[in-house]
Amino acid sequence: MIDFRSLTRKGFEELAIEMGLKAYRGRQVFRWLWRPGLGGFSGISDLSAGMRERFSQAGYITRLKVIAERRSVDGTIKLGFGLADGLMVEGVLIPERGRRTLCVSTQVGCAMGCRFCHTAEMGFVRQLETSEIAGQVLSVIEHLGEGFRPKNLVFMGMGEPLANYENLIKAIDIISDDLGLGFSKRRITVSTCGLVPEMLRLGQEADVGLAISLHAPDDETRGEMMPVNRRYPLAQLMAACRAYPLSPRRRITFEYLLLAGMNDSIDHARKLAKLLRGIPSKINLILFNESPGLPFVAPSMDQAAAFQKVLMDAGYTVIIRKSKGQDIAAACGQLYVDMQGYASATQP
């Protein structure tokens, strides 16, 4: 059976032809599948009853249902999406200057093992299917209404997006298709901890924004914090950033989590300024968001401001990003699902 919401428009056209139909019939079904509120093939009014039956026998429609919701005092909404196998994945809708950004997950858990990330403590559970990645966007619109439709999408939720590359790239295709969810690729950003081959492939295959979870300016510090740096050290990562194809006015975003006494000194700031020289970039500084069991603390705002000044004096655009949703564990690095506890809670 075919997971219909994992098919791109082209995939549906090819399926229609295989079924002995015209390609435009596939486009019709594809368009309907990404309309909010579609309950099943019976709701596709411009197909004959016979065609609806044929499609319904060929596959199924994956539906993500919001089974948990928490709202922050700052307007952030954390949503738990129930998956067909009983697992759950989290996403976050963040209000920003009159628009909303949806933080989308690509895996249940994560295998990257970054020491400062609560999601990493889950370990890797499984990849999300294309339908489950793109479906988070549709589910938010269905659950909260068109008035909460996000303007921007960031693949910065649970998991390493580029470790689920094939499903990610198809989801981006669906999300950005005018007959799909219709998001501009200029409003889509993919974050990575530094999987260099997949990063370069992304640059060739999808004109989307790129964010690098950097967090340290030297291999010794980064390797202690992020195991991926042993596989792809900074020299390789920076070479990939310099080779990354950027469309006009695009810059690579470097995310830098400030950890007191670990990576927040003035010397670290100077090293960072030197490391990024020549790369069209902007830098987001993030004060560490505390999570249970993680042995780090955030530096003071004065220290963060001093770090920012060094970079700004070197000519960089630098923002100290205000974390939102901390009171509901929805801030950067805080997403986490207790699978064992969740499974127990959902047992009949």
Q: Using 50, 70 and 90 to split pLDDT, how confident is the model at 334?
A: low
Per residue in 168-179, pLDDT tens? 999 999 999 999
Give pLDDT, residue 296. 87
pLDDT band for position 330 (50/70/90)? low
Kindly state the tokens that stand for 203.
């640059």
Q: What per-residue confidence (pLDDT) applies to 33?
A: 95
pLDDT digits (tens, 9 = 90+) for 32-78: 999 999 888 888 888 889 988 999 999 999 999 999 999 999 999 99
- Token pair 């805080």 in the structure block, residue: 334
Range 200-232 burial, b when 16+ CB lie within 10 A, else e: bebbeebbbbbbbbbbbbbeebbbebbbbbeeb
- pTM here? 0.93
pLDDT tens digits, one per residue of 66-86: 999 999 999 999 999 999 999
CA atoms within 13 A on the CB side of 89: 31
**pLDDT the model gives residue 340:** 46
Q: Give backbone dihedrals phi and psi of 124, rounded to 5 degrees, phi first.
A: -95, 130
pLDDT at 46: 86
pLDDT of res. 249: 85
Q: Which of 318, 337, 334 is nearest to 326 (CA)?
A: 334
DSSP bridge pairs for 78: 70, 92
Contacts of 264 (CB under 8 A, 6+ apart): 258, 299, 303, 304, 307
> Which amino acids are annotated catalytic?
90, 332
Positions of E strands within 97-244: 99-103, 107-109, 124-127, 152-155, 188-192, 209-213
Query: Is pLDDT larger for residue 327 or for residue 203?
Result: 203
Window from 23-37, 127-141, 297-311, 313-327 with minimum mean pLDDT: 313-327
Q: Which of these, 110, 156, 162, lies nearest to 136 by C-alpha position?
A: 156
| DSSP 8-state symbol, 266 | H
Handedness of CA 9, 14, 17, 19 (dihedral sign): negative
Give bridge partners of residue 109 from the DSSP assignment. 124
Q: Domains of the chain, with CATH numbers? A: 2-60 (1.10.150.530), 65-346 (3.20.20.70)
Range list of β-strands (E), the chain: 2-3, 59-60, 65-71, 77-82, 88-96, 99-103, 107-109, 124-127, 152-155, 188-192, 209-213, 252-258, 281-287, 317-321
Cα–Cα distance, 282 to 251 (Å, whole number): 7
pLDDT digits (tens, 9 = 90+) for 273-302: 999 999 999 999 999 887 777 888 999 999
DSSP bridge partners of 212: 192, 254
Beta pairing class for 77-82 and 65-71: antiparallel
In sequence order, the 6+-apart residues with CB closer than 8 A to the CB of 340 are none
pLDDT given at position 343: 40
The model's pLDDT over 213-270, given as tens digits with 9 standing for 90+, comes to 999 999 999 999 999 999 999 999 999 999 999 988 899 999 999 999 999 999 999 9
1-33: per-residue pLDDT in tens?
Answer: 899 999 999 999 999 999 999 999 999 999 999
What mean pLDDT do residues 192-199 have?
A: 98
pLDDT for 341 equals 44
Confidence of residue 329 (pLDDT cuts 50, 70, 90): confident
CA 342 vs CA 26, 60, 330: distances in Å: 38, 26, 17
